[in-house]
Structure 1
Amino acid sequence: MTNQLFESALGMTAPWCVQAVDFDAAQRQPTIAVDFVAGTRFSYAGVAGEHPVHDTQIKRLRHLNFFQHECILEVRVPRVRLPDGSVRLVEPDWVGQLSGFTLLFEALVLMLVQQMPFAAVARAVNLSWHRVHAICSRYVELALAAADLSEVTAVAIDETSYRRGHEYLTLVADMQARRVMFVTTGKDASTIERFAAYLGKHGGTSKQIGSVSIDMSPAFIKGVNEHLPDARLNFDKFHVVVHASKALDTVRRQQQKVDPKLKGMRWTLLKDANRLNLAQLTDLGALVSQYTTKRTAQAWLYREQLRGILERKQINVVSAMLHQWCTNVMRSKVEPMKDAA
């Protein structure tokens, strides 16, 4: 009766059955012996028919806790003899992807890591950080191997620094699915070549990509033109405004040599106005009111005008306004902003 109860709790079906249940009071750990019905023949992936058992191995698997106790399954796993004479291990479908765990235990870990850091999950399930990381890495590898990219047509590409900024990663995201689908080291044109090769390995081709959103990196532009030949280049408006912000900061640094008040205004000028406190807004208002004589104020206004233009949706209106904005900037004496224009 006890064995049948545990079979039901484990969701175990024929030919698998619970042979015995032992509880170590000192370790506070139940161990459940799992076996298969004598005389059972097993199928093996890729080989037709069902095959006789040659011998068995005992595997210890960590399962979900029973009440507050860690539960171990000791499973007698068969090795079957195939028609060609070779012997192969046949594992139950409830064995996990990483040695030493059941599928349900790995599912628990994967669920927890979506909400908690690895270290916290490791403490919660009484595993080492490395074992938790290994479980997650295994499922990431499986997901990547099974990825179907045949329907991807629009991507966004950007780089980010890691390891204290000394090295770079390039990330490619699927714009429709809104998820990262490829990561590689570096930030040069070869990263786009690697992405095109990755597409080919996962059901896609470089010619299916019709739109690429990037910053104005010459390396990315070169890589897209060479390796994604049918893609239309889109420069993300955030990256366009970044150029204007850099020009604004350059003007501020130049002007603070003759106007020391500008030294403490860097973040006041670079932040969005709706994120400034009252004191910062007051300082900004005082500066902007002098736009006719202060080039830093002029640069800030140009940056805000550009941001406003890029928020519009009508292509013909944006095109005309950008043309006028560039004309106005080029006629001004704000040299760094001319470079941005």
Structure 2
Amino acid sequence: MTNQLFESALGITAPWYVQSVDFDAANRQLNIAVDFVAGSRFPYAGISGEHPVHDTQIKRLRHLNFFQHECFLNVRVPRVRLPDGSVRLVEPDWVGQLSGFTLLFEALVLMLAQQMPFAAVARTVNLSWHRVHAICSRYVELALAAADLSGVTTVAVDETSYRRGHEYLTLVADMQARRVVFVTTGKDSSTMERFSACLSEHGGAPGQVSSVSIDMSPAFIKGVNEHLPEARLTFDKFHVVAHASKALDTVRRQQQKVDPELKGMRWTLLKDPNKLNLAQLTDLAALVSQFTTKRTARAWLYREQLREILERKQINVVSEMLQQWCTNVMRSKVEPMKDVARLIRRHFDGIVAWTQTRQTNGFIEAINGLFQAARRKARGYARFETMRTVLFLIAGKLDFSAFNSHAR
């Protein structure tokens, strides 16, 4: 009766059965022996019919814990003789993708690894860090190999650091599916060449990408123009405004050397006015009222005007107003803001495209934040391959069900 109960709990069906159950209290382990009915014949993938058993091997598989006790299945696995005389191993369909585990145990590790650093998962399931990494890496690579990228048309691209010494990796996200689809080393134009090749290898084509959201990195611009020929570049308005905010802060730092009233106003000037308290609003209003004489006030007004222009939705209106904004700034004496005007003129079409696409890098930058948080918790992932695995676990929305029905 006990053996039948464990068969039901484990999902073991004929010709497999539980031969014995042994509880080792000293080592806090439950060992379950699994065998098959004598005389059974087994199918083998790609070869028709069922084949006789030639001999057997004992495989020890880690399974889900039995309460707080580790559970192991000791399975007598057959090797069958095929019609051509060769001998092949036939494993039960609940054996995992990695040697030594069941599918259910691997599904547990995958679930935990999407929430915790590998070291924490290793402590939880009492495995080595390397075995946890091996399970996760195996499933990520299987899912990526089977990935279908034929529907990817709108992407966002960003880079993030992964190691000291200016070591970077580039991420590409499918903005419609809200998932990371490609990760590679570096942040130069060749990253787009590798992404283009990845599309071709997985059912897509470079010409299907119609829109790409990036920052104003010359390398990314060059890469997109060369390797994604049909893509329309969009420069996220938040990046443009961020450049204006940086110029505003530069003006403040220059002017506070001769104007003590500006000291302590950094965050008052940089924050969204809707997030300021009454005292900060009062100080800001007093400063802005002196815009004719104070360059910091004019810089703040230019930044706010730029923000308002980019909020509009009519492309012809935005284009006209943005051109006029650049002209006004270039005629002013606010030198750092002139650099922003020059930047906008160089990337004018991509900035105006924001009006229509409304495509931002917010999602992929949030992924960067999650990744950096995971890296800090893990006290640094040293290898690119490990970080690639982590990124896909966090944000790849990979489908593991084809390889493990328990992993969703």
Normalising by structure 2, we get a TM-score of: 0.78
- Given the superposition, is the C-alpha separation of residues 262 and 47 from structure 1 closer, same or farther in structure 2, using an over 3 Å criterion? farther
- 1:150: which partner in 2? 150
Which amino acid is 2:340 matched to?
Answer: A
- 2:301: which partner in 1? 301
Tell me the secondary structure at the aligned position of residue 27 of structure 2: coil
CA–CA separation in structure 2 for the residues paired with 1:151 and 1:248: 41
> How do 1:40-51 residues align onto structure 2 when only pairs under 5 Å count?
40-51=40-51
- Given the superposition, is the C-alpha separation of residues 261 and 136 from structure 1 closer, same or farther in structure 2, using an over 3 Å criterion? farther
Q: Can you list the C-alpha shifts for 1:41-79, whole angstroms capped at 9, x where unaligned?
A: 222223333222222111111111222221110011122
CA–CA separation in structure 1 for the residues paired with 2:17 and 2:130: 32
Q: CA deviation at 1:295?
A: 0.9
- Given the superposition, is the C-alpha separation of residues 176 and 298 from structure 1 closer, same or farther in structure 2, using an over 3 Å criterion? same
- 1:250: which partner in 2? 250
CA–CA separation in structure 2 for the residues paired with 1:102 and 1:299: 63
Q: CA deviation at 1:190?
A: 0.4
- Given the superposition, is the C-alpha separation of residues 325 and 86 from structure 1 closer, same or farther in structure 2, using an over 3 Å criterion? same
Tell me the secondary structure at the aligned position of residue 94 of structure 1: coil
Higher relative contact order (CA 8 A, sep 6+): 2
> How do 1:184-195 residues align onto structure 2 when only pairs under 5 Å count?
184-195=184-195
- 1:237: which partner in 2? 237
- 1:14: which partner in 2? 14
Tell me the secondary structure at the aligned position of residue 13 of structure 1: coil
CA–CA separation in structure 1 for the residues paired with 2:84 and 2:266: 75
Q: For structure 1, which runs of at least 5 residues remain unmatched after alignment? A: none
- Given the superposition, is the C-alpha separation of residues 184 and 263 from structure 1 closer, same or farther in structure 2, using an over 3 Å criterion? farther
- RMSD after superposition: 2.0
Q: CA deviation at 1:269?
A: 2.8
1:178 partnered with 2:178: yes
1:215 partnered with 2:195: no
Tell me the secondary structure at the aligned position of residue 257 of structure 1: coil
Which amino acid is 1:5 matched to?
Answer: L
Q: CA deviation at 1:134?
A: 2.3
Q: CA deviation at 1:260?
A: 4.3
Tell me the secondary structure at the aligned position of residue 13 of structure 2: coil
Q: CA deviation at 1:132?
A: 2.3
Q: Can you list the C-alpha shifts for 1:253-287, whole angstroms capped at 9, x where unaligned?
A: 32233234545443443333344455544443433
- 2:383: which partner in 1? none
My pick for the range that moved more, 303-312 or 4-13, is 303-312
- Given the superposition, is the C-alpha separation of residues 62 and 210 from structure 1 closer, same or farther in structure 2, using an over 3 Å criterion? same
> How do 1:93-108 residues align onto structure 2 when only pairs under 5 Å count?
93-108=93-108
Tell me the secondary structure at the aligned position of residue 177 of structure 2: coil
- 1:29: which partner in 2? 29
1:130 partnered with 2:133: no
CA–CA separation in structure 2 for the residues paired with 1:172 and 1:219: 15
- Given the superposition, is the C-alpha separation of residues 323 and 101 from structure 1 closer, same or farther in structure 2, using an over 3 Å criterion? same
Q: For structure 2, which runs of at least 5 residues remain unmatched after alignment? A: 342-408
CA–CA separation in structure 1 for the residues paired with 2:273 and 2:5: 65
- 2:290: which partner in 1? 290
- 1:202: which partner in 2? 202
CA–CA separation in structure 2 for the residues paired with 1:160 and 1:271: 25
Tell me the secondary structure at the aligned position of residue 142 of structure 2: helix
Q: CA deviation at 1:165?
A: 6.1
Tell me the secondary structure at the aligned position of residue 84 of structure 2: coil
Tell me the secondary structure at the aligned position of residue 170 of structure 1: strand
Q: Can you list the C-alpha shifts for 1:208-256, whole angstroms capped at 9, x where unaligned?
A: 1111111111111111111011111111111211221222222223223
CA–CA separation in structure 2 for the residues paired with 1:80 and 1:155: 49
My pick for the range that moved more, 327-336 or 277-286, is 277-286
- 2:118: which partner in 1? 118
CA–CA separation in structure 2 for the residues paired with 1:165 and 1:240: 27
Tell me the secondary structure at the aligned position of residue 95 of structure 1: coil
Which amino acid is 1:339 matched to?
Answer: D
> How do 1:54-73 residues align onto structure 2 when only pairs under 5 Å count?
54-73=54-73
Normalising by structure 1, we get a TM-score of: 0.93
> How do 1:265-276 residues align onto structure 2 when only pairs under 5 Å count?
265-276=265-276
Tell me the secondary structure at the aligned position of residue 26 of structure 1: coil
- Given the superposition, is the C-alpha separation of residues 323 and 37 from structure 1 closer, same or farther in structure 2, using an over 3 Å criterion? same
Which amino acid is 1:58 matched to?
Answer: I
Which amino acid is 1:192 matched to?
Answer: M
CA–CA separation in structure 2 for the residues paired with 1:323 and 1:174: 32
1:52 partnered with 2:18: no
